[in-house]
């Protein structure tokens, strides 16, 4: 089997055992990048080939440093990487070379990963379409005229195209789940706090975004999650949930799965998405699970109000210094300026009301999880759309009133920090991928991965239908 088609878990094992040299792995992935990346533009700030091969040879001579030893990794361009250009997709940081790693980069580097470059993202991660004025747009490996999603679009596209064995992503508003669906790969948004945030800015109110792993199978998600997860003494609200060393498929017999569909019509879905997910639910039933359709468990409009209020508050705070400088403000993405302006006028009463809604939804979800082992929603409301669009402005004739409303289906998970496994669900009539999100109560990450392993064994969409790419 070609090295770039192999799983990260297999490659890591063979690198550790000395069966395959790191130089051979590096050469294979760099060759793949050379062939595929010019058309897709998933990997940016790629380091020189000679430099990377020398680093791989050094890894071959060195004692194994950790579970990622010798693996070529491209880090999301929202994560600071020491000595490696990190732009955040912003012209303000087009030439920025950080002096230190962010926490997850530090953990991956310490585990032996070789950083080959970065993966593309929207400017500041705002929007689920990976384009920016520094690096351009990332295209979908299954149709180069379509979006790869975002904000982890570069990571998802690079995985699908076999340019990296595993990748980090991040997820505030579906930034990991949406591109996984668009590119026929897996992603795990962990329980909030399992992967700590960096000790920068606010670390008490900001409880809606998290980093997490992306891969072509659930076992590789676990491999990277075990590296990323673990408490940090510098930030509050850490979790230390146990994670298995190996992933075994769950016994699905008797598991109760709740299907939330379009949330009673609140979340419009383009034709074919619900039907594809329902086909996937029948696969879960074939594995022994009991699937039940559920009515909306909470007001979608209240969730949206809470979400947009808290998101605007956080963006207004974190981007205030850039916005307050007229020269820098002019170089900010219009959607980023909008976020700051939405948050600047918020009252304390509005923020409290938003958090109170969030608290009530958390309590209602906890009650649901006493009845169901997991709940399911589509991962996205639209199929991969043309790369020329900034975002889908309407779904089935319903106008989207913000740049991110077309991704509202991810809000119930993000708002209360639930773990969510994005799984590939197959392809639509136009040959484009789609996925669904399987989510559970806080701390159920290991169970969701085991459910994903059972799903993968029954479907294996990433290997069953890889993208048509140059060899």
Given the residues 90, 130, 147, 151, select the one marked as catalytic.
Answer: 151
Closest by CA to 29, choosing from 13, 43, 9, 10, is 43
Closest by CA to 448, choosing from 207, 182, 273, 243, is 243
Per DSSP, 333 falls in state -
Catalytic status, residue 76? yes
Given the residues 7, 45, 76, 420, select the one marked as catalytic.
Answer: 76
Q: Positive or negative CA dihedral for 5, 8, 12, 13?
A: negative
Using CA atoms, how far residue 421 sits from 232, 298, 357, 374, 375, in Å, is: 24, 21, 24, 10, 11
Closest by CA to 39, choosing from 158, 182, 150, 165, is 158
Catalytic status, residue 175? yes
Longest dimension (CA), the chain: 61
Given the residues 45, 90, 175, 306, select the one marked as catalytic.
Answer: 175
- Cα(76)–Cα(213) distance, integer angstroms: 11
37 and 83 Cβ atoms separated by less than 8 Å: no
CA end-to-end distance (rounded Å), the chain: 13
Residues 6+ apart with CB under 8 A from 368: 258, 294, 297, 375
What residues pair up with 292 in beta bridges, in sequence order? 258
77 and 51 Cβ atoms separated by less than 8 Å: no
197 and 210 Cβ atoms separated by less than 8 Å: yes
103 and 59 Cβ atoms separated by less than 8 Å: no
- Cα(118)–Cα(89) distance, integer angstroms: 11
157 and 179 Cβ atoms separated by less than 8 Å: yes
Active site amino acids: 76, 151, 175
């Amino acid at each position: 089997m070609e090295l770039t088609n192999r799983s990260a878990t297999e490659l890591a094992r063979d690198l550790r055992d000395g069966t395959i040299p790191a130089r051979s792995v590096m050469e294979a992935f760099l060759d793949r990048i050379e062939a595929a990346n010019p058309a897709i533009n998933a990997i940016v700030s790629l380091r020189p080939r000679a430099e990377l091969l020398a680093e791989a040879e050094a890894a071959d001579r060195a004692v194994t440093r950790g579970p990622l030893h010798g693996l070529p990794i491209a880090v999301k361009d929202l994560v600071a990487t020491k000595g490696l250009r990190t732009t955040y997709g912003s012209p303000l940081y087009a030439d920025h070379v950080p002096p230190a790693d962010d926490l997850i980069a530090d953990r991956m580097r310490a585990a032996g990963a070789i950083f080959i470059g970065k993966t593309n993202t929207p400017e500041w991660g705002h929007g689920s379409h990976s384009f920016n004025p520094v690096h351009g747009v990332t295209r979908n490996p299954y149709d180069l005229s379509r979006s790869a999603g975002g904000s982890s679009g570069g990571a998802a596209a690079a995985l699908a195209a076999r340019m990296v064995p595993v990748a980090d992503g991040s997820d505030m508003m579906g930034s990991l789940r949406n591109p996984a669906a668009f590119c026929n790969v897996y992603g795990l948004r962990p329980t909030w706090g399992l992967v700590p945030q960096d000790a920068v800015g606010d670390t008490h109110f900001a409880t809606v975004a998290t980093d997490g792993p992306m891969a072509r199978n659930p076992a590789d998600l676990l491999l990277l999650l075990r590296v990323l997860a673990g408490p940090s003494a510098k930030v509050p609200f850490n979790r230390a949930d146990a994670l298995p060393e190996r992933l075994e498929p769950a016994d699905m017999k008797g598991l109760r799965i709740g299907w939330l569909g379009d949330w009673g019509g609140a979340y419009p879905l383009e034709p074919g998405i619900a039907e594809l997910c329902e086909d996937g639910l029948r696969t879960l039933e074939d594995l022994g699970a009991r699937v039940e359709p559920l009515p909306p468990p909470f007001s979608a409009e209240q969730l949206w109000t809470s979400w947009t209020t808290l998101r605007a508050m956080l963006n207004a705070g974190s981007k205030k210094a850039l916005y307050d400088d007229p020269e820098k403000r002019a170089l900010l993405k219009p959607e980023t300026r909008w976020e700051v302006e939405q948050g600047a006028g918020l009252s304390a009463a509005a923020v409290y009301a938003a958090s109170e809604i969030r608290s009530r939804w958390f309590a209602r979800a906890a009650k649901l999880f006493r009845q169901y082992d997991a709940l399911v929603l589509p991962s996205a409301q639209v199929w991969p759309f043309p790369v020329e669009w900034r975002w889908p402005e309407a779904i089935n004739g319903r106008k989207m009133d913000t740049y991110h409303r077309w991704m509202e289906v991810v809000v119930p998970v993000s708002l209360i920090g639930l773990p969510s496994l994005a799984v590939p669900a197959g392809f639509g009539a136009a040959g484009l991928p789609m996925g669904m999100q399987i989510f559970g109560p806080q701390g159920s990450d290991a169970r969701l991965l085991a459910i994903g392993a059972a799903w993968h064994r029954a479907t294996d969409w990433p290997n069953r239908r890889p993208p048509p790419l140059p060899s």
